[in-house]
Amino acid sequence: MGPRGSHSAPLRAGEAAMLLGLCLAQSAPPQTCSAPQQNVTQPQYQNTIEDNGSGFMAALVHSFLNSVQPQPFPGDLILNITDMVQKGQISQKTTTAALVYEIGFLVGAAVGVLYIVLMPLVGLFVACCRCCGNCGGTMYQKQTSSLHCRRRALYWSAFVATAVILAGNICMFISNANFKVSVQRGPGLLNTSIDNINTFVTAVPQQIGSVVNESQTVIDDVINNLNNIGPELGSAIQQRMTGTLGPVLSSLSLLDRETANVSVLLNALNSSLVQLQSSVNLLQSNLTSVRGRINDTLSDPNCIGCGSHKSELQTLTLNISVNVPGLSTFQSAVNEVVAINLTSKRQVVSDFFNSIPQMVTNNTMTVVQSSKQQLTNIETQISQVTSKIPLSSLNSLSNSLTNVQTEINRVVPQVQSFEFIRWSVTIAICCVVLLVVVCNVLGLVLGPLGLSPRADPTKRSCVADCGGTFLMMGAGFSFLVSWLFMIVVLVLFLVGGNVYTLICRPWSNGQLLQFIDNSFLAANLQSLGLNSSLSISEIYTDCENNQPVWTTLRLYELINLNDYLNVSKYTAQIQQQFDSTNMNLSSINLLNPQVESQLRNFSANALNVDTTAFTQQTNNISSINLNTTANVLDNLAANITNTTIKQQLNDEATNLRQLQINIETIILPQVRSLNLTILSLTSLSSEINQTVGGLLQSVGVAQGFLNTNVTQIVRTESRTFLNCQLSYFTAFAQWANTTITQQVGRCRPVAGAIDTAQEIVCLQIVESLNAFWFSLGWCLMFFIPSIIFSMKLAKYYRRMKSTDVYENEYLNHISMTHIPRAQMKVT
């Protein structure tokens, strides 16, 4: 086993290395034919919408203002007025049209002016009348049967009027607080909106830059693949050849291993045959010598009766020739195959297989360099996308927004100071109105609390008298401040109402954006390098739906993106260069005809070894039994009286038995060993025939495949490799087009900034302002019934200076006889 093991170890090592290369070629992962692209990163924006509850009276105020101004937005009138103001002259027709449009506000203003004029006059007139003893100025109350009914009616009327004023006063406080909150939050929300727009403006170039940078990644991947074209394309070609060359290499390895084993067996067999033949010759010589001595003894005259046993000497022969017919011819065939050196043949095939990547690298060196130059041109073309898209206008927009933000921060302290003054004044107004409510409430509470219906009006309690005084105080305060507050209502009504009808209402229904579209937008868009047919309403709608800037600003009308992403002219040149490149592999002759002839001779001679004759010879050796003759000699010696003869026969019998022992201990083990070797050789010889046949068949198939298909395989795999590289650009172009047109610059922050401005100006500040003057006007309107009912009700609680007696069962609750009495009336 030592020689066989030492001989097969290097064979197995080489075979393992070769098969490892085949396995690597088979298991190489397929090349990915497109670089994975990811969506561009979308920036994170801050929330700018906050509800402070300023619209709690919006429905009521809007209903009133829509009644005051039901006409649509006067865009043409505003343009005419603007144009005439710029020219320094305003026509009578335009003025009339403006007054007609403002007729509702003029009517409201007339009512306010009438209130401002009449309220102090009426108050002055009432004060003078009361001083003259009229208008309830006389402290006398006539007692009638309907007195209490009138008092209750006046009480509840004054109560309702006071409750309504209190409700309006509460709305004043709430709207004033909402206005303050809106002014405080406004700058922060505006700054946040501007920050969002700045983030958006900054993100757009970054997103487009990321798309362009992705092209560099794609180009780098393709260049890397071109640099590795040998391993990548060579591996693909190897995979196509593995199914054909694999059986050849496996058969060569198997035949090489079997040939080595046969050679070892033949060497062992020849050595054993020589040794066996030497043992047989020595046995034959010894046996011939013993036979001669036995023949002399039996021929001795003193050996009585020995002549008849000479026939036993015929069996004392060993005429055996140990040889295997055809073995020498087979040995010669094996030596020829060993001389072929199948290991080198296998190594040649393996070297050819493993050299494919290097051959591909050598054949494509020129086309790879030219392809890299084309890739540089592709990179230059794609990079032009950044310069063609008008991103510079975004920088100017960002600077403008920064300036706006700086200006906002500059005026914030002034706005906060003004807001504090405004809030203080409005709080004072609210408190004065609340003072009127408090006087009315105290009067309504103290009057009934201290009133005794049966008491004489001149003897009413102090509590009731205080209640009446508070009612008069409430009426007096109402006269004093109502006309002043109406001035505030009138100014705020004209300002807030017109802001709502001319700005907020058309802003909410889109008319304001359309007006800006028709007036100012076209020139500004042209100055930014954009299409003048764009409308701000369309831009706002698209941004509200978070559309990309490509469709929002109609950039497809300014730049043909496909021209910059279409790299077909460069890829076509690369493809043409690859097609014109000769990438044929060097030819290889797996086995020449002489080697094939020697292998066929080896296979044929393996079957011509005749082991039957050798088996028959070994069977003859196994059948020899010298002990039988030795027993005959011992029996013969027993009957012989001559001691000399007897001793000679016994000695010869002993010699025969010793020779038999030599046969059994030396020759027969050698025979059995030879038989085992012959069996192994016979079994291996039958396998060699199949192995040689399989090898010759696989070599024929592989050689035909290499002669006819290698060129086509190289072309097919080269085209596959090239298409794989070009598909990088196809996938990138599709991804870049989709990304730029559908993901870059989603402009929801722009619409969000407009919504935030509308939220601050209209839904918070203007709504709070309108709610305040509407609530104050509401209170002032109800001051009138409050004054009337309070003044009339006060006389039912105040202490009178003169009395009027009216007796009946209802007042006195007693039965009495009516005695005529004088009626006194004190004036």
CA dihedral 390, 393, 398, 401 (to 10 degrees): -140
CA dihedral 784, 786, 789, 794 (to 10 degrees): -120
- Burial class of 22 by CB neighbour count within 10 A (0 to 12, 13 to 18, 19+): buried
Whole-number pLDDT of residue 817: 36
Residue 720 has pLDDT above 60, yes or no: yes
Burial annotation 483-494 (CB, 10 A radius, 16+ → b, else e): bebbebbbebbb
Residue scoring higher pLDDT (439 or 148): 439
E strand intervals along 453-569: none
Domain boundaries along the sequence of the chain: 58-196+412-540+770-812, 228-351+588-715
Whole-number pLDDT of residue 24: 41
Q: Identify which of 790, 778, 776 has the alpha carbon closest to the alpha carbon of residue 159.
A: 790
Burial annotation 498-535 (CB, 10 A radius, 16+ → b, else e): ebbbbbbbbbeeeebbbbebeeebbeebeebebeeebb
Q: Which amino acid belongs to residue 518?
A: N
Whole-number pLDDT of residue 391: 66
Whole-number pLDDT of residue 525: 56
Burial annotation 804-818 (CB, 10 A radius, 16+ → b, else e): beeeeeeeeeeeeee
User: Which range has the top average pLDDT, 73-82, 137-146, 216-225, 467-476?
Assistant: 467-476
Burial annotation 29-41 (CB, 10 A radius, 16+ → b, else e): eeeebbbebeebe
Per-residue confidence band for 220, with pLDDT thresholds at 50, 70 and 90: confident
pLDDT (mean) for 418-423: 92
User: Which range has the top average pLDDT, 267-276, 424-433, 589-598, 661-670?
Assistant: 424-433
Residue scoring higher pLDDT (540 or 583): 540
Residue scoring higher pLDDT (599 or 114): 114
pLDDT digits (tens, 9 = 90+) for 753-794: 888 888 888 888 999 999 999 999 999 999 999 999 988 888
Chain centroid to CA 331:
72
CATH class of the 228-351+588-715 domain in this structure: mainly alpha
Per-residue confidence band for 142, with pLDDT thresholds at 50, 70 and 90: low
Please give, one letter per residue, the 3-state secondary structure of 450-481.
HCCCCCCHHHCCHHHHHHHHHHHHHHHHHHHH
Whole-number pLDDT of residue 808: 44
Whole-number pLDDT of residue 486: 94
pLDDT digits (tens, 9 = 90+) for 117-129: 999 998 888 888 8
Name the pTM for this structure: 0.68
CA–CA distances in Å: residue 755 to residues 49, 363, 771: 8, 65, 21
Residue 467: count other Cβ atoms within 10 Å of its Cβ: 27
Residue scoring higher pLDDT (69 or 327): 69
pLDDT digits (tens, 9 = 90+) for 456-485: 677 677 888 888 889 889 998 999 999 999
Residue scoring higher pLDDT (598 or 113): 113
Contact 530, 394 (CB under 8 A): no
First-residue to last-residue Cα distance in the chain: 158
Rounded CA gap, 539 and 748, in Å? Answer: 10
CA–CA distances in Å: residue 590 to residues 239, 596, 692, 711: 18, 10, 14, 17
Residue 161 has pLDDT above 90, yes or no: yes
Tokens of 93: 């027709």
Rounded CA gap, 10 and 191, in Å? Answer: 81
Report the percentage of the chain scoring pLDDT > 70: 81
Per-residue confidence band for 3, with pLDDT thresholds at 50, 70 and 90: very low
Question: Which residues neighbour 147 within 8 Å (Cβ) at sequence distance 6 or greater?
Answer: 796
The answer to whether the Cα torsion of 347, 353, 358, 363 is positive or negative is positive
Rounded CA gap, 367 and 575, in Å? Answer: 10
Residue 522 has pLDDT above 70, yes or no: no
pLDDT digits (tens, 9 = 90+) for 103-112: 999 999 999 9
Report the percentage of the chain scoring pLDDT > 90: 16
